[in-house]
Amino acid sequence: MSERPLPPGQQWVAAGKWPLVGERAPAESNDPWEVRVCGLVRQEKSWDLGELRKLPPAERMIDIHCVTRWSKPDVAFRGVLLADLLQASKPQDAAAYVSFVARSERKHSTSLKLSTALKLVTLIAWEADGEPLATEHGGPVRVVVPGRYFYKSLKWMEKIELLAEDSLGYWEAEAGYHNEADPQFEQRYMAPNLDKQTTRKLLEARDFSGHDLRSIDCRGRNLAGLVAKAALLRDADFRQANLAGACFDGANLSNAHLEDANLQGATFRQADLEGANLTRADLRGADFFAASLFGASFCSETDLEQGARFDAATQIDPAALEVLTPHQARYVQAELRR
């Protein structure tokens, strides 16, 4: 395993596994691949793949940390330093941010403070562990930002733009991902920006349906019978809450905290529970039909005690368990068989 510590709230993937996250492939195009530095530079520059390979090589051994709570230790990325590409393009003094843009359908992007990108020794990489980067992992060229959640490591990179003001990336703008993304501080999502009055109304009506309530803090509340259809509840905190009979159908509960919650008879049909923590939750009679459980946990990673409670009425598709870590899958299978 890695010599570096596992950041809080993360778990190592099984040896040899590398999950795919986000877009699966670059946009189709017959144009040859070029990496271009533009924006606030004195000299726009571009390199084709052959030219890139002639630059001084750089290699970095890093641990990948995904915001959905999986980490992959000791991946050796090889490529060139962002610093070397920038030096050749002569950044203007006003350049304070760097935005990476992908050759992808949605023109996926992400950004960093320029000083941060340089301090972290950002790499423009085309090899991982001695092999050319697979297309689904960003080949032919991707960004690798050590020390940030992996959503800052853009796949299929073709444009590096230097800017005076920040330009929020795709996940940061659309999904509310934290713009700093430092795993040591669990900077996963932006702070909730709801006024208290609205929040209070929602709580009174016990109806969250369709609302954007990322990171909402419902710890210990009595919300029995809550309706939260298609609600956006990423990173929400429902620890110790009473959610008996609640309806989370179609809701996004990725990375939500549901430890010790009463979820008897709750429904999660087609809900997204990736990275959600259901340790010690009461799941008797709960329905997880077609829910996505990648990276979800039902018991502590270190022992099989203190896990979630299931009964014969708990509905969970055996195929949905294949995306759990082996430890989690073993626990749930054993409980369901009782």
Ligand X SMILES: Nc1nc2c(c(=O)[nH]1)N[C@H]1C(S)=C(S)[C@@H](COP(=O)(O)O)O[C@H]1N2
The contact set with Mo ion (CB under 5 A) reads 21, 66-67, 150-151
Cβ atoms of residues 23 and 108 within 8 Å: yes
- Round to whole Å and give the CA distance between 52 and 82: 11
Q: What is the DSSP letter of 111?
A: E
Of residues 153 and 215, the one with the C-beta less far from ligand X = 153
Tell whether residue 265 is a contact of ligand X (CB under 6 A): no
What is the DSSP track for 279-329?
TT-B-TT-B-TT-B-TT-BSS-SS-SSS--B--TT-B--GGGGGGS-HHHH
Burial group, residue 282, by CB count within 10 angstroms (0-12, 13-18, 19+): buried
Tell whether residue 171 is a contact of ligand X (CB under 6 A): yes
Q: What is the DSSP letter of 152?
A: G
**108 contacts which partner out of ligand X, Mo ion, none, CB within 5 to 8 A by kind?**
ligand X
- Give least dist CB 169 to Mo ion, A: 12
Tell whether residue 150 is a contact of ligand X (CB under 6 A): yes
Question: Which residue among 123, 154, 213, 320 contacts ligand X (CB under 6 A)?
Answer: 154
Tell whether residue 20 is a contact of ligand X (CB under 6 A): yes
- Round to whole Å and give the CA distance between 208 and 227: 6
Give 316-324's long-range contacts (Cβ < 8 A, gap of 24+).
Answer: 316/288, 317/288, 317/289, 317/290, 320/288, 320/290, 320/291, 320/292, 320/293, 321/293, 323/292, 323/293, 323/294, 323/295, 324/293, 324/294, 324/295, 324/296, 324/297, 324/298
Q: What b/e readout covers 63-97, taking b as 16+ CB neighbours within 10 angstroms? A: bbbbbbbbbbbebebbbbbbeebbeebebeeebeb
Cβ atoms of residues 222 and 240 within 8 Å: no
Tell whether residue 100 is a contact of ligand X (CB under 6 A): no
Of residues 18 and 289, the one with the C-beta less far from ligand X = 18
Tell whether residue 126 is a contact of ligand X (CB under 6 A): no
- Residues numbered 66-85 forming contacts with ligand X, rule: CB under 6 A: 66
Of residues 154 and 223, the one with the C-beta less far from ligand X = 154
- Round to whole Å and give the CA distance between 299 and 311: 16
Tell whether residue 155 is a contact of ligand X (CB under 6 A): yes
- Give least dist CB 241 to Mo ion, A: 27
Question: Which residue among 22, 73, 192, 225 contacts ligand X (CB under 6 A)?
Answer: 22
**140 contacts which partner out of ligand X, Mo ion, none, CB within 5 to 8 A by kind?**
none
Of residues 78 and 239, the one with the C-beta less far from ligand X = 78
Question: Which residue among 60, 90, 113, 137 contacts ligand X (CB under 6 A)?
Answer: 137
- Give least dist CB 105 to Mo ion, A: 18
Of residues 155 and 257, the one with the C-beta less far from ligand X = 155
Q: How many residues bind ligand X, per CB under 6 A?
A: 19
Tell whether residue 102 is a contact of ligand X (CB under 6 A): yes
- Give least dist CB 110 to Mo ion, A: 10
Closest-by-Cβ residue to ligand X is 22
Question: Which residue among 69, 108, 234, 257 contacts ligand X (CB under 6 A)?
Answer: 108
- Give least dist CB 302 to ligand X, A: 25
**294 contacts which partner out of ligand X, Mo ion, none, CB within 5 to 8 A by kind?**
none
- Round to whole Å and give the CA distance between 44 and 41: 6
Tell whether residue 153 is a contact of ligand X (CB under 6 A): yes
Question: Which residue among 21, 41, 226, 276 contacts ligand X (CB under 6 A)?
Answer: 21
- Round to whole Å and give the CA distance between 242 and 284: 13
**240: its two tokens:** 């110790």
Cβ atoms of residues 85 and 160 within 8 Å: yes
User: Under the rule (CB under 6 A), what is the footprint of ligand X?
Assistant: 18-23, 66, 102, 104, 108, 137-138, 150-151, 153-156, 171
